[in-house]
Structures are given as C-alpha cells and as structure tokens.
Structure 1
Amino acid sequence: MTYFDTHTINSAPDGARPLLNQASGMFGFVPNLLGTMAEAPALLEGYMTLSGIFDKTELNDTERQIVLMTNNRLNNCGYCMAAHTVISRAAGVPADVIEALRSNAPLADSRLEALRSFAEVINETRGWPSDADVEGFLAAGYSRQSVLEVILGTALKVMSNYTNHVAATELDKAFAGAAWSAAVAEPA
C-alpha cells in the first residue's frame, strides 16, 4: 500500500495551511482526513468549500447527515461513518436515526426514509435513478431542488470516502468512540 502523510498545519504544503487553520478552529483539532487531503491543497479546498455549500441547501441538519451517512455506508468508509456519527450527535440528529443509518435499517419517519432510500438509489445507480424513484422522492414532500442537493452530498462523500480508501486514514481519537465497520451494518 502506498503511504500518505497526515499533515499538521506546520508540515502541510503552503496552500493547505490556511485551510487546516480554519479546520482547527472549527473542530478544535485538525481531523486526519483533512490532514491527509492537505497533500493536495486543491482537494482540501474543494472538499471544505463543497462542505460549506452543502450546508446551505434546503435540507436540514438531519437530512444532510442522512445523505452523507448513507453514502458513507454504501462506500464502506469507516472513518466517515465514525466522524459523521459524532457530528450528527453534536448537530442534534435523533439517536434512532443515527443508529438506523449505522446499521442499515429503515428510518421510522417515512419522509426521512424516502430521503435515505433516494440517496441510496443515487449512489447505487451512479446517478441514474428511474422516473419512479424521482417521483417517489417528490411525492414524499421533497423538491426538485432536493433531488439535485442529494447529488451534491453524494459528490462530497466521493471526495472524502475515496481519500480514506486510498490513504487508509487513521481514525482520530475524537471519533474512536463511534468506530464503525460494514459488519455492523448488515440488516437484521
């Protein structure tokens, strides 16, 4: 396996240092994912910028985490599942929603389940949902804008999940209590 550095603010390329400083201010530390992305400052900037843009969508905190965690699970990214479990808890996402996302169980709320299912379809079809998939999502109370915002969240997770796959990013201590593996996500 090719080794990738997990940069600190001091070891990062010049173009990544301001971004790692920003991340440190947001999280209180530099997450290993971002330290790894710092090797390619454009990737780090793209990821952080897209993340900020995704936060501006019409999807609320819970809905955004549903899109992100669904993609994390489907892409088998243990790092991001753990990180987003912690982030979801801090954002006030209900515990039953977080647990269902981690264990690949349907969500009790039918509207949120429609979102989870649609995010799954977008990932698994590589952006080729059927007309029935889109119409079902719209019938659950989501908009055409939301359809495209699910694609935005999926693109964001490609950046982080694939980085973690290639670099075998080490899980931060801050996320270790929420460690996850695909083995725990097998439906009952």
Structure 2
Amino acid sequence: MTTFTVHTPETAPEGSKQILSGVKSGLGFVPNLLATMAEAPVLLEGYTTLAGILDKSDLSETERQIVLLTNNRLNGCTYCMAAHTTLSQMGGVDDVVIEALRTNTPIADAKLEALRTFAAVMNESRGWPEAAQLEAFFAAGYKQQHVLEVIVATSLKVMSNYTNHIAETELDDAFAKNVWSESDLKA
C-alpha cells in the first residue's frame, strides 16, 4: 500500500496550511485524518467546510452523530468510529446511544432508532430508499429536510471514511480510548 504523507501546518501544501493551523489552535493538535487530507487542499477544505455546514442543520448533535457513526460502522472505518465516539462523548450524546451505535443494536428511543435505521438504509441502498422506508422515517417525526440532511452527513463520511481506508490513517492518541473494530458488533 502507498504511504500517505501526514502533514503538519508547516509541511502542508499552501492551500492546507491555514486550515491545519486553525484546527491546531482549536483542538491543540491536528488529527491524523485532517493531516492526511491536507495533501489535497480541496479535500481538506471540502471536508472541514461540509462539517461546519452540517453543524447548522436541523439535526441535533445526537442526531448528527447517529448518522455519522452509522455510516462509519457500515463503511468499516475504525478511525472514524473511535474519533466520533470521542466527539459524541464530548458533545453530550447519551452513553447508551453511543454503545448502540458501536455495537449495531437498536436505540431505545423510537425516533432516534428510526434515524439510525434510515441512515443505514441510505448508505446500504446508495440513496435509493423504498417508499415504505421514507414513510417510516416521516412517521417517526422527521421531515423532508431531514432526509436531505442525512445525505449531507453521509457525504461527509464518504470523504473521511474513504480517505482512512486508502491512507490507513493511524489513530490519534486523543481517540485511542475509544478504539473500535467490527468484532464489537452484536448484530
């Protein structure tokens, strides 16, 4: 496999330097995912911009993490499962919800479970949900806007999950306590 460069703000291509510097100022470190994405400034900018846009969605922090973690699991992205577990914990997502997402077990809250199920449908069907699946999502209290926001979150995960697959991104120490593998799945 090709070894991908893990950049710093100093070694990154010009179009990535400012983004990495901002991340380092905000987090105190540059996650290896972003340091790897920096090789292609357009990818790094696209990912960080889309992540910021997703934060403006009508989906709550818990709902956003449900979609993100569901996609991470389905795409087999061990890096993002660990990272988003940490981000979910920092964002106040209930530990029971996080555990359900990490183990692929139902979430007790019916509305959140409908979102988890729909996020999986969108990933597995490649955006071709059946009418009954859309209706079930709407019956749980979600709207057309939320369908489209699930697409935004799914798009974000394609960018990060695929980068991690190709680059075999090393897990950062900050996420190591939440390491995940497919052996954690219960269903």
TM over 0.5: yes
Q: Distance in 1 between matches of 2:82 and 2:177?
A: 8
Query: Could you give the per-residue CA deviations for residues 136-174 of structure 1, whole angstroms, max 9, x where no partner exists?
Result: 101100010000000110000000000000000000000
1:86 maps to which residue?
86
Shift of 1:21: 1.0
1:155 maps to which residue?
155
Q: What root-mean-square deviation, in Å, do the aligned CA atoms of Structure 1 and Structure 2 show?
A: 0.6
1:16 maps to which residue?
16
1:26 maps to which residue?
26
Matches within 5 A, 1:61-80: 61-80=61-80
5+ residue gaps, structure 1: none
1:43 maps to which residue?
43
Query: Could you give the per-residue CA deviations for residues 39-86 of structure 1, whole angstroms, max 9, x where no partner exists?
Result: 000000000000000000000000000000000000000000000000
Query: Could you give the per-residue CA deviations for residues 79-125 of structure 1, whole angstroms, max 9, x where no partner exists?
Result: 00000000000000000000000001000000000000000000000
Shift of 1:23: 1.2
**3-state SS of 1:62 partner:** helix
Shift of 1:186: 3.3
| Letter of the 2:22 counterpart | Q
Matches within 5 A, 1:73-152: 73-152=73-152
1:176 maps to which residue?
176
Q: Distance in 2 between matches of 1:3 and 1:127?
A: 32
**3-state SS of 1:10 partner:** coil
Shift of 1:182: 0.9
Q: Distance in 1 between matches of 2:23 and 2:131?
A: 40
Shift of 1:26: 2.5
2:166 maps to which residue?
166
**3-state SS of 2:178 partner:** coil
Q: Provide TM-score, normalisation by structure 2.
A: 0.99
5+ residue gaps, structure 2: none
> For structure 1, which segment, 15-24 or 116-125, has the greater mean C-alpha deviation from structure 2 after superposition?
15-24
| Letter of the 1:133 counterpart | Q
Q: Distance in 1 between matches of 2:27 and 2:6?
A: 16
| Letter of the 1:160 counterpart | S
**3-state SS of 2:46 partner:** helix
Shift of 1:25: 2.2
Report % sequence identity. 62
Q: Provide TM-score, normalisation by structure 1.
A: 0.98
Q: Distance in 1 between matches of 2:40 and 2:126?
A: 25
